[in-house]
Amino acid sequence: MASITGIAKEFFAACEAGKGWEACKVHCKPDATFSAQVGALSDVRTLQQYADWMKGLLVTLPDGRYEVKSFATDNERKNVCAYGVFSGTHTGPGGPCAPTGKRLKNSDYVYVLDFDGEKIRHMTKIWPDAWALKELGWA
């Protein structure tokens, strides 16, 4: 039996590298859900949509990268929290406007991955999107 920590790390790496749902789905229930209390992701309801959103984001911010700050597993509640910092420059196509050339320096975010057995059933993203969008010149 694989540990949920190991599965979460593999999912996190694939998702944050912009590999999309095709690379992420092996770690998830087919109907895995997604939630975030942020305007930028208000229409995203499934983990498939989110993984593909991240894939698109890395086209828009081609130098996008992340740094893991913390990974914590709560076996009793069957979830894993991953805290990261994302940065990137809007030089690629996409986003709400033409490339701004502006850099998102350090955008803090947290994933809370809820498990059903060895598969992610739900992900919550905690992220101050208004600050990030302003820094990129999108708001």
Residue range 65-124, pLDDT digits in tens: 999 999 999 999 999 999 999 999 999 999 999 999 999 999 999 999 999 999 999 999
pLDDT digits (tens, 9 = 90+) for 103-115: 999 999 999 999 9
Q: How far apart are CA 77 and CA 55, in angstroms?
A: 29
Topology of domain 4-135 in CATH is: Nuclear Transport Factor 2; Chain: A, (3.10.450)
Q: Is pLDDT at 26 greater than 70 in this prediction?
A: yes
CA 68, 74, 77, 78 torsion-angle sign = positive
Q: Is pLDDT at 46 greater than 70 in this prediction?
A: yes
pTM of the model: 0.96
